[in-house]
Structure 1
Amino acid sequence: MPEIDADQPKKKGSMLKWIIILLLLLLLGGGGYFAYTTFFAASGNATEAASENPNAQAQGKPGDIQMVTLPTFLVNLADPLGRRYLKMTLDVELVNKAAAEELGKQTPKVRDAIILLLSSKSYADLATPESKLVLKNEVVERLNLILGGARVRNVYFTDMVIQ
């Protein structure tokens, strides 16, 4: 008759217990990380954005928002062979009518800044949706520098062709 080792079932049960504990700890850690990034980090970013520009709310009311369409931009991209180009039309959302008038007065500076920004990009820089969002943010930043303050709320790409 074969001998049955009494320690064998104990070893399996002990190892299973440690695996379950490890999995539970990993699940708790993942849940804690998810809760932190979802609830705590997001509210911290909103607080930082509000502290960076405390008068952003006071500059424009929802009824004052103005949309301005900029003329189409056609630029060569910064690719090694120089054979790619970008054609883009932008709509700019401004906080009030005064900002829209200022944008009209600063058209040469605006076009210059956007042309320099767009021509510094390569096809690879514009290929993904994330990179297009980065480009939108860069355009908003440059326009706000030209107009002074947070007068541009958003930029919308209404036409974009990369060839």
Structure 2
Amino acid sequence: MDNKKLATFSIAVFVVSVLVFATTLYLVFFRAPAPSDSSPKKIDTYKYDLGDFSTNIGSSGRYFKGKIVIETTNKKTPKLIEQNVEPIRDYILSVLISQDVKTMMSESGIENIKKDITKKVSEIIGTNDISNVYFTDYIIQ
């Protein structure tokens, strides 16, 4: 009788092992992965076109002509920019005039100008919602 119990117990353990193995295979190979929270979510952005800028570059005798667009993550920020467009444009012109041609022709120089503009526009409008500054036209003659 002991052998009969041992055989029944062995069969039960074998069946449970097969079920665990089959479940593991299913979960590893056939089940679709759960959506990951770490995947980047699309953030809505809003843009404000500051228009055309034309100015001399320092005392070099060279000339800058371009268009600048500010991107923000807050729907209300473009309205704040519009209400403060004169001091913002004035600051950007003063930044452009104070540059030298080498700076304005280098990628790192342009990135520094963008950072300066982002920082000052944020100060002027009183928010930190500026996500990027784009030069959509950029001509130096």
TM-score between both structures, scaled by the size of structure 1: 0.58
1:145 aligns with 2:123: yes
Cα distance in 1 for residues equivalent to 2:48 and 2:76: 12
The equivalent residue for 1:154 is 132
**In the alignment, structure 1 residue 101 sits paired with structure 2 residue 82:** no
Task: Give the number of the structure whose residues are more often helix, by fraction.
Answer: 1
For 1:5-154, list aligned pairs within 5 A.
62-63=43-44, 65-79=45-59, 82-154=60-132
C-alpha displacement of 1:151? 2.0
The whole-number CA distance in structure 1 between the counterparts of 2:124 and 2:66 is: 20
1:71 partner SS: strand
Larger radius of gyration between Structure 1 and Structure 2: 2
Instruction: For residue 128 of structure 2, give the secondary structure of its aligned residue in structure 1.
Output: coil
- Counterpart code for 1:67: K
Higher RCO (C-alpha under 8 Å, 6+ residues apart): 2
Deviation beyond 4 Å, 4+ runs, structure 1: none
CA–CA distance in structure 2, aligned partners of residues 77 and 118 of structure 1: 6
* Aligned-residue offset at 1:149: 2.6
Q: TM-score, normalised by structure 2?
A: 0.66
Structure that is richer in strand per residue:
2
Can you list the C-alpha shifts for 1:4-38, whole angstroms capped at 9, x where unaligned? Answer: xxxxxxxxxxxxxxxxxxxxxxxxxxxxxxxxxxx
Cα RMSD between the aligned structures?
1.4
